[in-house]
């Protein structure tokens, strides 16, 4: 008998949600996390959930605090030329909304639920290694005090993010990588100020900007910045004046500024590694793919991967391997939809090095067309709110 059915590497949203759903489906699992619990909780990341994510969390019994504290968005707003603001009302167009609820809180909810159900989680598991993934008796080892501990299992779920070990355990000859780096990053701040009530993306000659929220007294803002900058190049005064300069007056006049309580610079990248299964190893979330944050898709893709993967493992233990065999192709269909949309929106809204006045006008024309065409808005809305699960 193996020590567990599924060894899960990584306790981010993908790993912890998978553990939660497997427990609910009666499938034994162990989670190994390289960092401490507090370290994972302190990472500031995503903020906008697709409705499919909201419903997955609710169905898993993880929706109570999200429903009490989350903020429902009916629209996505895009500004350009420092004047026009287009509101794409996804609720009117499609009857679908989004939820502003921080990844930090989802992570807390998942750990708290793990404590309640007695989840087996190992934090600060150094030197995790995957073994025999091309057999049906794989194992995972990690450094444990005096020596090495080994966990044997039926399957390994690689939920260890972009810099994890799982993807790299698949022979390079067996996978194809699709990669695109962007020549800028996002400088993000959190500030204890009342946010704009709307989610607002801005295309501007000075560069992209985004206004988002966490709670009624916690705002999240981003500006495009060169990756050669550091956060020290961006004292609060510079950040606020740059943010305000990139927004139309109608919006910048409503922004309440204040000291930042967090500031970080994140690179933008599109990356997909195929297939998402190799033998007994299944990848989910950022371990298999990265999207630039412009479409707010990364966390949502992690949740849809885990939706497919948990269903596949649970069905396997009732003698049905249909979903397991099709996991990679099913998950990748949604991944590529989001990868394309995130790339397109990044290209539309950012200022690229060597961008000419022609390029700028072409971006603005595409936004004007979006404003004029309900068909174009529907196509945008359909992708922003998230493609349906299969
Ligand atoms: P994570 O969250 O990176 O978790 C992986 C976990 O694995 C651990 N790990 C290991 N554990 C054991 N052994 C090893 N060798 C290990 N190596 C790594 C790590 O410590 C970590 O705890 O991946 P996961 O679970 O796949 O979740 C993905 C999301 O975190 C990510 O896609 C989103 O944050 C992306 N993202 C957004 N997604 C959205 O859906 N909506 C958004 O609004 C949104 N905004 C964002 C974002 C990401 C951002 N940054 C910082 C890149 C905004 C930003 C600025
Ligand atoms: C955020 O609130 O952090 C956020 C919102 C929208 C995005 C990316 C990040 O596209």
Task: Quote the CA–CA distance of 21 and 97 in Å, as a whole number.
Answer: 24
Q: Which of 221, 222, 308, 384 is catalytic?
A: 384
Longest dimension (CA), the chain: 67
| Ligand 2 centroid to residue 152 C-alpha, Å | 39
Q: How many CB atoms lie within 10 A of CB 137?
A: 11
pLDDT recorded at residue 44: 85
| Polymer length in residues for the chain | 390
Query: Active site includes 111?
Result: no
| Ligand 1 centroid to residue 83 C-alpha, Å | 34
Q: State whether the beta carbon of 338 lies less than 6 angstroms from ligand 2.
A: no
Q: State whether the beta carbon of 305 lies less than 6 angstroms from ligand 1.
A: no
Query: Active site includes 201?
Result: yes
Pocket probe for ligand 1: among 100, 208, 299, the residue whose CB has the most ligand atoms within 8 Å is 299
Angle at which helix 374-385 crosses helix 357-372, to 10 degrees, equals 90
Q: Report the candidate in 217, 176, 226, 224 with the shortest Cα–Cα distance to residue 194.
A: 217
Q: Which of 297, 307, 316, 350 is catalytic?
A: 297
- Alpha helices (H) in 254-373, listed in sequence order: 298-316, 322-349, 357-372
Q: Report the candidate in 162, 160, 155, 139 with the shortest Cα–Cα distance to residue 277.
A: 155
Question: What Cα–Cα distance (Å) separates residue 53 from each residue in 63, 97, 150, 303, 321?
Answer: 10, 11, 34, 6, 25
Peptide bond preceding 73 in cis form (omega within 30 of 0) = no
Q: Which of 13, 138, 292, 293 is catalytic?
A: 293
* β-strands 4-9, 29-32 pairing: parallel
Q: Is the dihedral of CA 71, 76, 82, 84 positive or negative?
A: negative
Q: Report the candidate in 127, 120, 121 with the shortest Cα–Cα distance to residue 165.
A: 127
- Ligand closest in space to the Cα of 220: 2
pLDDT recorded at residue 6: 98
Q: Report, in this order, helix, strand and coil percent for the chain, each rounded to 5.
A: 40, 30, 30
Task: Give 319: exposed, middle or buried? Use CB within 10 Å, 0-12, 13-18, 19+.
Answer: exposed
Q: Which tokens belong to 99?
A: 């939820």
Task: Quote the CA–CA distance of 265 and 99 in Å, as a whole number.
Answer: 24
Instruction: Decide if 268 contacts 293 (C-beta within 8 A).
Output: yes
Question: What Cα–Cα distance (Å) separates residue 150 from each residue in 133, 142, 153, 158?
Answer: 14, 7, 10, 16
Helices and strands (H, E) in the chain, number of each type: 12, 19
Which residues of the chain fall below pLDDT 50? none
The closest-lying atom of ligand 1 relative to the alpha carbon of residue 284 is: 26
- Ligand closest in space to the Cα of 291: 1
Residues in a beta bridge with 270: 180
pTM of the predicted structure, to 2 decimals:
0.97
Query: Active site includes 384?
Result: yes
b/e map 221-232, b = 16+ CB within 10 Å: bbbbbebeeebe
| Ligand 2 centroid to residue 201 C-alpha, Å | 9
Pocket probe for ligand 2: among 49, 197, 268, 296, the residue whose CB has the most ligand atoms within 8 Å is 296
Q: Which tokens belong to 388?
A: 């349906």
Task: Quote the CA–CA distance of 204 and 222 in Å, as a whole number.
Answer: 13
Q: State whether the beta carbon of 220 lies less than 6 angstroms from ligand 2.
A: yes
pLDDT digits (tens, 9 = 90+) for 292-349: 999 999 999 999 999 999 999 999 999 999 999 999 999 999 999 999 999 999 999 9
Query: Active site includes 297?
Result: yes
- Ligand closest in space to the Cα of 297: 1
Distant-in-sequence, close-in-space partners of 351: CB < 8 Å, separation ≥ 6:
184, 203, 204, 205, 206, 207, 208, 224, 360
Report which protein residue has its CA nearest ligand 2's atom 7: 296
């Amino acid at each position: 008998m193996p020590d567990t059915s599924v060894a899960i590497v990584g306790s981010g949203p993908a790993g912890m949600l998978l553990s939660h759903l497997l427990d609910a489906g009666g499938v034994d699992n162990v989670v190994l996390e390289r960092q401490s619990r507090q370290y994972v909780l302190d990472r500031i990341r995503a903020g906008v959930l697709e409705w499919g994510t909201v419903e997955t969390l609710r169905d898993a019994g993880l929706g109570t605090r999200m429903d009490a504290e989350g903020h429902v968005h009916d629209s996505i707003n895009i500004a350009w030329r420092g004047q026009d603001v287009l509101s794409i009302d996804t609720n009117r167009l499609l009857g679908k909304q989004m939820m502003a609820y921080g990844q930090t809180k989802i992570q807390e909810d998942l750990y708290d639920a793990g404590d309640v159900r007695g989840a087996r989680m190992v934090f600060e598991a150094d030197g995790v290694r995957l073994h025999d993934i091309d057999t049906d008796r794989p194992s995972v080892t990690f450094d444990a005090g005096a020596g090495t501990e080994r966990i044997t299992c039926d399957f390994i779920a690689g939920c260890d993010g972009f810099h994890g070990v799982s993807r790299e355990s698949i022979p390079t000859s067996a996978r194809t990588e699709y990669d695109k780096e962007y020549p800028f990053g996002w400088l993000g701040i959190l500030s204890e100020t009342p946010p704009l009530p709307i989610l607002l993306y801005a295309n501007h000659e000075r560069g992209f900007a985004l206004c988002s929220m966490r709670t009624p007294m916690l705002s999240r803002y981003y500006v495009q910045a060169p990756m050669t900058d550091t956060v020290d190049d961006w004292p609060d005064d510079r950040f606020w004046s740059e943010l305000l300069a990139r927004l139309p007056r109608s919006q910048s006049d409503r922004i309440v500024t204040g000291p930042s309580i967090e500031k970080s610079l994140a690179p933008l990248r599109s990356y997909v590694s195929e297939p998402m299964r190799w033998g007994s190893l299944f990848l989910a979330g950022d371990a298999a793919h990265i999207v630039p944050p412009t479409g707010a898709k990364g966390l949502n893709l992690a949740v849809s991967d885990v939706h497919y993967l948990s269903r596949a493992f649970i069905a396997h233990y009732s003698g049905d391997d249909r979903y397991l065999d099709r996991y990679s192709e099913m998950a990748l269909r949604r991944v590529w939809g989001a990868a394309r949309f995130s790339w397109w929106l990044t290209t539309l809204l950012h200022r690229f090095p060597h961008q000419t006045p022609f390029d700028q006008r072409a971006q603005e024309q595409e936004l004007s067309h979006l404003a004029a065409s309900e068909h174009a808005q529907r196509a945008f809305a359909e992708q922003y709110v998230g493609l349906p699960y299969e």
